[in-house]
Amino acid sequence: MAEKVTPRDVDYSRWYTDIVLQGKLADYSPVKGAMVIRPNGYAIWEMIQKYLDKMFKDSGHVNAYFPLLIPESFMKKEAEHVEGFSPECAIVTIGGGQELEERLYIRPTSETIIWSMYKKWIMSYRDLPILINQWANVVRWEMRTRLFLRTSEFLWQEGHTAHATSEEAEEETLKMLNIYKTFVEEYLAIPAITGKKSESEKFAGALHTYAVETMMQDRKALQAGTSHNLGQNFAKAFDVQFQDKDGKLNYVWATSWGVSTRLIGALIMAHSDDRGLVLPPRMAQRPVVIVPIWRGDDQKVQVLEFADSVYQELKAKYNVIFDDREQYKPGYKFADWELQGIPIRVEIGPKDVANNKLVLVRRDTMEKQFIDRKGVLETVTDELNKMQSELLEKARIFRDENTFDIDDYDEFKKILAGKGGFLKSHWCGGAECETKVKDDTKATIRCIPFDRKKEDGKCIVCGKKSSGRVVFAKAY
């Protein structure tokens, strides 16, 4: 708290790190590339788990747990997959004091180990579908840590489903993408674009990949979640066939989908300000803090009694912090809770007691409101709901203001060299043009959006015919 958060326009990247470290959301660990998720950060992950897990279960999924360590030979069974993941794996070569006969990869993702089990479990159409999700840690080697956004170990969930038909697998892929979109918008309060990834950006081993894309305050894109239609690739690699109703053998159809602790990074970068974290109310385990203010013992008794009655009323519905610490001044406390992103602060001083009022400050607007003591629970609930929807709205306006239809490649490059944003431009569909954009501007195709209009145009790079715009942006 002695330090100060670096303002966004001084250094956006330091601003982010300051919020994470000073807000005690995470910390660097002594292991290169790995981080520690501190209680304030883990509390956000618990909220993400709570809501997503319910959405998964309500849509018929169940949880299971598969081994952390994957035999090297398994990783190698799907050609694209091993090529994509093998260079970034951590590999165990010693176990129980002995050199291992076969090296074991710490899972970078679990398709291979899971499909080796599905081979044991799937015989007939009666065994399908399998709708399993796993909450787990994975390791993908990284030397340059970006807290929450890029770390060599992260927490995530990975769904792995098995289906009798291609149509069912595609339906599942899209259903889970939509669950992610709903979650990102309604809980994280971040507007989301959904669409298909280009060939070069798809998951290693997938038929195609869909993604949820969001915009951060520096106008960069952040991929919030992905859902893959794996076709029959893994079923073929692991020889998983099932007998259909007519007794014929068929390869099983697969999907996988995941979101990770990276969502916490998205949450921070989408809403926070130069005072610190701004937490959407639904993601706050502790959405309200009460700070009583007094001088001298007479005031103290009065104020604490009044504040306690407010506390008791709010506590019935919310996990409320009652900050009556005597060693800190109110100003210090305000700054501390602002840094940690508590959505609503209630201040109660001697004047408020006399007037039967209290002061309410919402973390996003920072406006002081004098509200009646009576009905405080309803008022707080209203303000939390308003804050949740206004945060989404504010982020949506920001994104839309920074999204441009661009048809000229010079302008395209100029914007990306400057403030950046989402650039909707025509693209011929060719990998070469995609690569050229990346080389010229560092921007990538975030997705081919589902909601794009059919529109005749010319590829922003080569000028060939195109039938619709895709979203280009620099990304995390």
Please report which residue ranges of 317-405 form alpha helices under DSSP H: 330-339, 350-355, 376-401
* Phi, psi dihedral angles at 283 (to 5 degrees): -95, 0
Binding-site string for its own copies from residue 383 to residue 422, where x marks contact by CB under 8 A and - marks none: ----------------------------------------
- Does residue 21 bind its own copies (CB under 8 A)? no
What are the tokens at 279? 């937490």
Q: What is the distance between the alpha carbons of residues 211 and 373, in angstroms, rounded to a whole number?
A: 46
Query: For the chain, how many residues are written?
Result: 476
- Does residue 346 bind its own copies (CB under 8 A)? no
- Does residue 87 bind its own copies (CB under 8 A)? yes
Cα–Cα distances in Å, from 470 out to 237, 436, 441?
33, 15, 16
Judged by beta carbon, residue 149 or residue 348, the one nearer its own copies is 149
Long-range contacts (CB closer than 8 Å, 24 or more residues apart) made by 400-406? 402/215, 402/219, 403/215, 405/469, 406/460
- Does residue 301 bind its own copies (CB under 8 A)? no
Judged by beta carbon, residue 2 or residue 367, the one nearer its own copies is 2
Of 11, 46, 167, 432, the one binding its own copies (CB under 8 A) is: 46
To its own copies, the closest distance from the beta carbon of 271 in angstroms equals: 23
Residue the block writes with tokens 């519905």: 317
Of 7, 12, 36, 403, the one binding its own copies (CB under 8 A) is: 36
Of 12, 51, 125, 141, the one binding its own copies (CB under 8 A) is: 141
Burial level of 400, CB count in 10 A (0-12/13-18/19+)? exposed
- Does residue 43 bind its own copies (CB under 8 A)? yes
Asked whether the beta carbons of 371 and 358 are under 8 A apart, the reply is yes
What are the tokens at 432? 């070469």
CB under 8 A: which stretch of 62-70, 192-200, 308-316, 362-370 binds its own copies?
Answer: 62-70
Look at strands 208-215 and 249-251 and give their pairing.
unpaired
CB under 8 A: which stretch of 37-45, 161-169, 338-346, 413-421 binds its own copies?
Answer: 37-45
- Does residue 217 bind its own copies (CB under 8 A)? no
Asked whether the beta carbons of 473 and 220 are under 8 A apart, the reply is yes
- Does residue 113 bind its own copies (CB under 8 A)? yes
Judged by beta carbon, residue 72 or residue 274, the one nearer its own copies is 72
CB under 8 A: which stretch of 140-148, 158-166, 191-199, 224-232 binds its own copies?
Answer: 140-148
Judged by beta carbon, residue 76 or residue 208, the one nearer its own copies is 76
Look at strands 130-139 and 153-163 and give their pairing.
antiparallel
Of 51, 66, 125, 156, the one binding its own copies (CB under 8 A) is: 66
**Residue 51 CB: number of other CB atoms within 10 A?**
17
State the number of binding residues for its own copies (CB under 8 A). 55
**Residue 324 CB: number of other CB atoms within 10 A?**
15
* 154-183 binders of its own copies (CB under 8 A): 155
CB under 8 A: which stretch of 83-91, 251-259, 287-295, 361-369 binds its own copies?
Answer: 83-91
Exposure b/e, 445-469, CB count within 10 A at least 16 = b? bbbbbeebeeeebebbbeeeebeeb
Burial level of 476, CB count in 10 A (0-12/13-18/19+)? middle
To its own copies, the closest distance from the beta carbon of 270 in angstroms equals: 22
What are the tokens at 96? 């129980």
Judged by beta carbon, residue 119 or residue 458, the one nearer its own copies is 119
Among 188, 190, 215, CA closest to 284: 188
To its own copies, the closest distance from the beta carbon of 14 in angstroms equals: 19
* Cβ-Cβ contacts under 8 Å for 449 (sequence gap 6 or more): 193, 194, 195, 469, 470, 471
- Does residue 370 bind its own copies (CB under 8 A)? no
Judged by beta carbon, residue 106 or residue 339, the one nearer its own copies is 106
Of 92, 371, 377, 459, the one binding its own copies (CB under 8 A) is: 92
Binding-site string for its own copies from residue 120 to residue 139, where x marks contact by CB under 8 A and - marks none: xx----------x---xx-x
To its own copies, the closest distance from the beta carbon of 151 in angstroms equals: 9
To its own copies, the closest distance from the beta carbon of 106 in angstroms equals: 7
- Does residue 284 bind its own copies (CB under 8 A)? no
Amino acid of residue 189: A
- Does residue 62 bind its own copies (CB under 8 A)? yes
To its own copies, the closest distance from the beta carbon of 95 in angstroms equals: 5
Q: What is the distance between the alpha carbons of residues 244 and 231, in angstroms, rounded to a whole number?
A: 17
- Does residue 55 bind its own copies (CB under 8 A)? no
Residues facing residue 358 across a β-bridge: 371
Residue ranges that bind its own copies, judged by CB under 8 A = 27, 29-31, 34-39, 41-43, 45-46, 62-71, 74, 87-97, 103-104, 106, 113, 116-117, 120-121, 132, 136-137, 139, 141-143, 152-153, 155
